[in-house]
Amino acid sequence: MKLNENLILREVAGEYMIVNPFSETMDMTQILTLNETAAWLWQQAEGKEFDEDYLVDCLCEEYDVDRETAATDVHEICAQWQKNGLLA
């Protein structure tokens, strides 16, 4: 997997959002907000090929979470990213 390179993560007023800086108009329906953990995972994946196992490893190293829970959460996040066109 790889993140859509046209999208960037921005923090605005303590909120994380994915935006397309190349869009000619600011369409608020095309902005996806992320919680702090999902934003952190996005940062780990930026600019590289990755798979769910890589993100699970990152999550387990950074947070006190068991591998099964991390795998479930990462799978859900990647599915949301795929559904919303955030993956290349």
Taking 60 as the threshold, does the pLDDT of residue 62 lie above it? yes
* Domain boundaries of the chain, sorted by first residue: 8-83
Phi, psi of 60 (to 5 degrees): -70, -35
Range with top average pLDDT, 14-18, 73-77, 80-84: 73-77
pLDDT interval class at 6 (50, 70, 90): confident
Write the DSSP symbol of residue 47: T
- The string of pLDDT tens digits covering residues 21-53 is 776 555 545 678 899 999 999 999 999 999 999
pLDDT > 70 fraction of the chain, expressed in percent and rounded: 90
Q: How are beta strands 15-19 and 8-12 bridged, if at all?
A: antiparallel
Q: Which residues contact 38 (CB under 8 A, 6 or more apart)?
A: 16, 77
